[in-house]
Amino acid sequence: MTWLCDGLDMLFRAIGHGDCLESLAGAMPGLVRKLIVLAAVDGLILQPLAPWNTRGAPSVHIAYGTHAVTRLSLSEAAQATAVENDDGDTGGLEVHAVVGLLKIASFAYLIAVSRREQVAQLWNKPVYAITDVSLIPLSSRHDAESAITRATRSIAGDDLGDDDDSDPEHIAHLDEDWLDDLVLHGNKNPPSSRSRRGSLKEPSVAEDVMRNKGAYGRFSGGWFSRTGWTSGQRKNMGLSSQEDLLKPADVVVGASPFSSPSLTPAKSQDPPDTTPLDPSAISEHLKSSGNSAAVEDRITALVPKLVQTTKLLFGSKTFFYAYDHDITRRLPELDLQPTDTPLYRRVDPQYFWNNNLSRLFVDAGLDEYVLPVMQGFIGQRAFTIASTQSKSKAQPNSVETEGIDTTEVSAFQNSFLVSLVSRRSIRRSGLRYLRRGIDEEGNVANSVETEQLLSRPSWDSASPVQSFVQVRGSIPLFFTQTPYNLKPVPKLHGSPEANARATKLHFQTLSGRYGFLHAISLVNGHGNEAEIGTAYQAAVDHLNANGGIDSKPIGFEWFDFHTVCKGMKFENVSQLLDSTASFLDSCAWSTVKSSNLQQLQKGVMRVNCMDCLDRTNVVQSSFAERILSHQLSAVLHTSIDLRSDPSTTWLATLWADNGDAVSLAYTSTAALKGDYVRTRRRNVFGLLTDLSLTLSRYYHNLFEDFFVQSALDYLLGNVNARVFADFEAGVRGADLSVDVNRVRREAVDACARKLIQGEDGTEELLGGWAMAAPADDISMADSKPTGSFGAVHPNKVMYETIFLLTDRCVARVSYDWEAEHVGDVHRVPLEKIKSLQWGTWICDTLSPSQMDETRNVGFIVAFEKPEHELGTIRDGAKPDHAIVGTVAFKALSTRSAVVRPEQQDTMKLGERDLVRHVCEEIARAIGELKQEHNVDVVEKDIVSLEQARKSTGYIDQLGHSLKKMVWG
């Protein structure tokens, strides 16, 4: 084939670079550096390209329909490529790496890096930013070929708006950027930061909303129109059109790819090979969940948006990778010695963003295709220090950028390289107002480790490499903020004990990783942020009062940034530098020379504001600038002051780019206060820019972030595909900071202890469940305790409560979920219960899940109204008033999208089975208490679907439709 011949020719022309080839051969084992993706008859073929395949990485087959990933032998790979060549040489898509495999319901997509940009070299190893990815569908050969053609056109710069569906002549475009990988071993200058796409004008918020409909608004026209997705739209998203799905299949899905004549090319007059989607090929979690067809329909409706969101995320230039170097570990943790251990097994798991997507390749033993991808920022700048000395007095040193002629000093001894690496954690990852604070495991939102490296451009092992590390992260308390306000008030959650446990766990993790800790809080000391700032300081004071972390106190400083720097006087940050100077000097930095760790940074600055973006980046850049001055002064044995030198704005620019990248990942916009970080000046133009960015953030918070957060959680493996069905129903995702099932279990235990506390100790708890209950009790149909049931209004306000069953009574216990406090207890003796009714209970008809009669089920307990026995137990007091004659409960969802390892093998009842089980347990308990007492158990709708539809107003339906159009 042409691409193979071209590749071999390039390899022979590169033989002159013998030392570079030796360096390539010594790379980490077998990583595929460039490959071609081919659409074969019954699956995709991943074929490594010869010049980069120095370790003999195998070809791979990924089957349509089943999505099975298998290794191909040399003969099978040759047969596959020969078939493609005989079939007209339809060509393939040349990519740089595989990110992984995205599987959702019965769909699957190969995610591959189609464009990249070299942004740095670390230890003479190139580091790349992903600038675009291609998603190739695994539904059929026709769909895969269409996606490959579009991606090839895009890479070649063709007009994507052309509606011509004819296949263009495929020209293999083996460029020569692979030579960069070879010659960089001897390259002393880092690459310049240039984009292959050119500059794009950032649209205004108004233009984005009104004309472009935001990043995802264009999809709403397909989802909520009468006609749905057109054939052309489905093809553009890599989905089979309705016509394609009705065509007969020429391939038996699941057959061995190269053991039968099925590889025989189709005749030219035959229709394209198309494998219909198999409805039974749903993911495992859907098979075991009940009513899977309806769930899959709701998930499938959001697949096009998930595909587009995935492409936007990985093409945002915030994801980075390197073939030969572990970019996830800071200097003291790096192992620079050659090893045969695959790279993905060496990286830090909390920065391995495509770990979940790569799982099928790992399970298939295809280590050569598993290339870890990290989100964050990587930037680099070379510079020289020109020193001019007179015979009488040394002049101040000036730092100049790369390219300045320094004739009076040695270029080698005064040339340096600054590299900035920010690593964003996958733990509690997400977007601004949807991921705040801490989770139960001590992980905080927007957690970023930033390392500033100082080295010689040659990375000579005899020259020292110095590393200074800082961290940022959300305030380590349970709190949330609403996205519906420009200045939302933080709302604290959880009991003091729960917050104390999580905060301590967070600082223990930091201490074990970095040593001594100094926390700097930049939140306002007044207004909306004051309460949470005070709570944070109190939490640290509490830790220190109890011995700190491993007998080491945690330093804490509340620096009210906006007050101190009021009037755009950001230079007042120097006050914070002065107050923290002793800690910075004592912790110093890490130094490695000749592969030996000569000095270890003894502690770390933990900086936060509310978002851990704008104010945080200003302060962290100031710390880094101070440390770099100290490092250069120590190396050159003379005083260096970077802050006062006007020629060092390149360092500020590097940090400003870092702030923009971290902000883009968390808020979808650049960082505020970037003008000061770049120029060390603050003016009215910067203020106006910040106002525009603030409005843009507000737009993203309202209209885009809900779905993107669900997509991000799914890509990371934190949730299963049900999250999209839940999103379709509620049009927003849930916070994963707390294990809801664990909290409910603990609430049941706490309520049971209070219920039985005042008894003689012989009462036995038979069961307890978290349920939804009406805010007020249901009125009886008549005033007599006949056991008949009153009408239930569909739109009754519901709240989550605890239902308990003992051998003497049933009880409804109110519970404060935020404070974790037991409230009022309402008891009904078993002998007073006259009848039980259970059945469908529809509250709303705004989404399919709310109308699902198998999931919306409840029960009503009718009991004899006493005059004196029943009452309310309030904080241990005696009953003081009677309750009404019925209590009602509705089952909460028994299925969750959240993936937790300890719950993988737990079998749960569906909502209907759960309610039936509870009613049977109540009837059994009554029978055991009094043999002659029988209770009627009636299966009858509490609120039918028809009744609920009649009570759902037009305004409610219109409001929900608008939410779906905007957010869905």
The residue with greater pLDDT, 106 or 570, is 106
**Low-confidence winner among 454-468, 518-532, 572-586, 823-837 (lowest mean pLDDT):** 823-837
Contact between 842 and 948 under an 8 Å Cβ cutoff? The reply is yes
According to the model, what pLDDT value does residue 760 have?
63
According to the model, what pLDDT value does residue 81 have?
65
Which residues are CB-neighbours of 253 under 8 A, at least 6 positions away?
42, 63, 64, 65, 66, 275, 278
Helix axes of 614-636 and 649-667: crossing angle, nearest 10 degrees? 150
Characterise 4 by phi-psi region: left (phi > 0), alpha (psi -120 to 50), beta (else).
Answer: alpha
Distance, CA of 807 to chain centre: 47
Q: How far is CA 846 from CA 26, 480, 730, 856, 892, in A?
A: 60, 27, 9, 13, 18
According to the model, what pLDDT value does residue 313 have?
92
According to the model, what pLDDT value does residue 408 have?
40
Rounded CA separation 878/910 (Å) = 38
Rounded CA separation 654/644 (Å) = 17
**Low-confidence winner among 131-135, 294-298, 527-531, 594-598 (lowest mean pLDDT):** 294-298
Nearest to 365 by CA among 344, 339, 350: 344
Highest mean pLDDT among 471-485, 633-647, 844-858: 471-485
Across all residues in the chain, what is the average pLDDT? 75
According to the model, what pLDDT value does residue 684 have?
58
According to the model, what pLDDT value does residue 359 have?
95
Give the chain's radius of gyration (CA, Å): 32
pLDDT at 77 over 90: no
Percent of the chain exceeding pLDDT 70 equals 64
According to the model, what pLDDT value does residue 246 have?
36
According to the model, what pLDDT value does residue 438 have?
95
Helix axes of 705-716 and 684-703: crossing angle, nearest 10 degrees? 70
Rounded CA separation 132/111 (Å) = 10
The residue with greater pLDDT, 204 or 133, is 133
Task: Specify the pTM.
Answer: 0.74
According to the model, what pLDDT value does residue 954 have?
59
pLDDT at 881 over 50: no
The residue with greater pLDDT, 821 or 257, is 821
How much is the average pLDDT of 91-108? 92
pLDDT at 943 over 80: yes
According to the model, what pLDDT value does residue 701 have?
53
pLDDT at 857 over 80: yes
The residue with greater pLDDT, 739 or 133, is 133
DSSP state of 438: B
Rounded CA separation 703/968 (Å) = 9
> What is the sign of the dihedral through the CA atoms of 16, 186, 351 and 675?
negative
pLDDT at 870 over 70: no
Rounded CA separation 260/281 (Å) = 23
How much is the average pLDDT of 208-222? 35
According to the model, what pLDDT value does residue 448 have?
97
pLDDT in tens, 495-544: 899 999 999 999 999 999 999 999 999 999 999 999 999 999 999 999 99
Which residues are CB-neighbours of 428 under 8 A, at least 6 positions away?
435, 438, 439, 443, 444, 445, 447, 736, 737
The residue with greater pLDDT, 662 or 388, is 662
According to the model, what pLDDT value does residue 743 have?
84
**What confidence category does residue 449 fall into, taking pLDDT thresholds of 50, 70 and 90?**
very high
pLDDT at 759 over 80: no
> What is the sign of the dihedral through the CA atoms of 786, 788, 791 and 796?
positive
How much is the average pLDDT of 531-560? 95
**Which residues are paired to 768 by β-bridges?**
804
**What confidence category does residue 903 fall into, taking pLDDT thresholds of 50, 70 and 90?**
low
How much is the average pLDDT of 694-713? 69
pLDDT at 827 over 50: yes
pLDDT at 68 over 90: yes
According to the model, what pLDDT value does residue 762 have?
80
Q: What is the DSSP string of 393-416?
A: -BPPPEEEETT----SS-TTTTEE
Q: How far is CA 934 from CA 491, 496, 784, 928, 930, in A?
A: 49, 47, 19, 10, 8
Domain boundaries, the chain: 29-156+296-340+351-371, 382-387+411-644, 683-734, 736-868+879-967
How much is the average pLDDT of 728-739? 64
The residue with greater pLDDT, 332 or 878, is 332
According to the model, what pLDDT value does residue 399 have?
44
Q: What is the DSSP string of 125-193?
A: EEEEEEEEEEEEE-S-HHHHHHHHHHHHHHHHT--TT----SPPPP-----STHHHHHHGGG--SPPP-
**Which residues are paired to 468 by β-bridges?**
452
Rounded CA separation 740/136 (Å) = 36
pLDDT at 235 over 50: no
Highest mean pLDDT among 26-40, 386-400, 637-651, 826-840: 826-840
Highest mean pLDDT among 223-227, 339-343, 587-591: 587-591
- Give the pair of three-digit tokens for residue 70: 């298998």
Which residues are CB-neighbours of 109 under 8 A, at least 6 positions away?
101, 102, 135, 136, 137, 138, 238, 307, 310
Rounded CA separation 236/376 (Å) = 30
pLDDT at 421 over 70: yes
Contact between 301 and 731 under an 8 Å Cβ cutoff? The reply is no
How, if at all, do strands 936-939 and 833-840 pair?
parallel
pLDDT at 562 over 70: yes
How, if at all, do strands 465-472 and 603-608 pair?
parallel
**What confidence category does residue 849 fall into, taking pLDDT thresholds of 50, 70 and 90?**
confident
Highest mean pLDDT among 87-96, 134-143, 255-264, 284-293: 134-143
According to the model, what pLDDT value does residue 733 have?
57
Q: What is the DSSP string of 16-69?
A: T-HHHHHHHHTSSTT----EEEEE-SSEEEEEE-GGG-TT-PPEEEEETTT--E
Percent of the chain exceeding pLDDT 90 equals 41
Rounded CA separation 499/680 (Å) = 38
According to the model, what pLDDT value does residue 369 have?
95
- Give the pair of three-digit tokens for residue 26: 């010594």
Q: Hey, which CATH number is domain 736-868+879-967, 2.40.10.120, 2.30.29.30, 2.80.10.50, 3.30.300.180?
A: 2.30.29.30
According to the model, what pLDDT value does residue 387 have?
57
**For tokens 């990778």, what's the residue?**
321
